[in-house]
Amino acid sequence: MSPLADQLAALGLHHTGAHLDDLVALATKKRWSATQLLEHLAAQEAQDRAQRSLDRRLTRSRVGRFKPMADFDWAWPTKIDRDAVEATLRLEFLGGARNVVLAAPQGLGKTMIAKNIAHQAILAGHSVLCITAAQLLLDLAAQDSARGLDRRLRHYSRPALLCVDEIGYLSYDNRNADLLFQVISRRYEQKSLVLTTNLAFSDWPSIFPNAACATALIDRAVHHADMLVIEGESYRRREAELAARSRRVPAKKHA
């Protein structure tokens, strides 16, 4: 069967070539007609290609590990619009090339929500790329030619959804502000962005203290955007305090 399996793989029928012996045995056992065999083959190839496409999108997205929304404690934040968050998870913003901006202090799950949005988009067949603002700007600033910079800008313009995490953790000089402005401008009203920030929008000018493009950058980011503001105390601090208390309890019992 090896030459035939190789020929099938060369024709793009990778699943059939890899499982040819099993397929022939199954068709013989069930006494399939030629039509039934072809129908089964087509169904299996379609399923296999869909899975490989999903795997490629997941790898290229760089979404990494994340907690599912089933683990999100909706009762913990003092302010969160659950309906609005769940609407973004249904990807209602993608059709109109709208943006989603998640604003919250550290430790309230904004990155978790952003990655779940990204994952839902991947499952729905969209191309996605996730990156922190620091990584994005480091990559763009490292380009030593106009052609190289344009190539990287096109790279960040290409995905149907671009998730930029942690805007506001660092201040950006004029050069970095201009680079971020170019990314946002190229996607403006064309493709969607998901942005996370630890700052209120009134404080965004402090991220770009001397940049001439700051106002235009912010306008393009928040125009046509679903603004999701989360307030409250840090989940991570709560978990650290609970872990510390749980470690102290056995010590008292032992004493």
**Per-residue pLDDT tens over the stretch 88-125:** 999 999 999 999 999 999 999 999 999 999 999 999 99
For the chain, how many helices (H) and strands (E)?
11, 5
Question: Shortest CA distance to 203 belongs to which of 165, 174, 168, 232?
Answer: 168
Q: Do 90 and 182 share a domain, yes or no? A: yes
Q: Do 192 and 79 share a domain, yes or no? A: yes
Q: Do 124 and 171 share a domain, yes or no? A: yes
Question: Is residue 248 classed as helix, strand or coil in its secondary structure?
Answer: helix
Domain range spanning residue 149?
69-237
Q: Do 80 and 202 share a domain, yes or no? A: yes
pLDDT at 255: 45
Q: Which two three-digit tokens encode residue 216? A: 């235009």
Q: Do 54 and 76 share a domain, yes or no? A: no
- DSSP run (H or E) holding 27: helix 20-30
pTM of the model: 0.82
- Mean pLDDT lowest for which of 21-30, 78-87, 184-193, 235-244? 235-244
- Domain assignment present for residue 252? The answer is no
* Residue 217: pLDDT band with limits 50, 70, 90: confident
- Please list, in sequence order, all residues whose beta carbon lies within 8 angstroms of the beta carbon of residue 247, skipping any fewer than 6 positions away: none
Q: Do 164 and 43 share a domain, yes or no? A: no
Q: What is the mean pLDDT of the chain?
A: 90
Single residue among 60, 81, 108 that ends a domain in this structure: 60
- The yes-or-no verdict on residue 242 having pLDDT over 70 is no
- Domain assignment present for residue 251? The answer is no
- Domain assignment present for residue 247? The answer is no
- Domain assignment present for residue 249? The answer is no
- Domain assignment present for residue 151? The answer is yes
Phi, psi (rounded to 5 degrees) for 32? -70, 150
Q: Do 73 and 53 share a domain, yes or no? A: no
Q: Do 29 and 96 share a domain, yes or no? A: no
**Structure confidence by residue, pLDDT tens digits, 151-184:** 999 999 999 999 999 998 877 888 888 999 999 9
- The yes-or-no verdict on residue 72 having pLDDT over 80 is yes
CA distance 119 to 108: 19
Q: Do 74 and 10 share a domain, yes or no? A: no
**Structure confidence by residue, pLDDT tens digits, 184-197:** 999 999 999 999 99
Q: Which two three-digit tokens encode residue 71? A: 């683990």
Total domain count, the chain:
2
Q: Do 8 and 100 share a domain, yes or no? A: no
- Domain assignment present for residue 172? The answer is yes
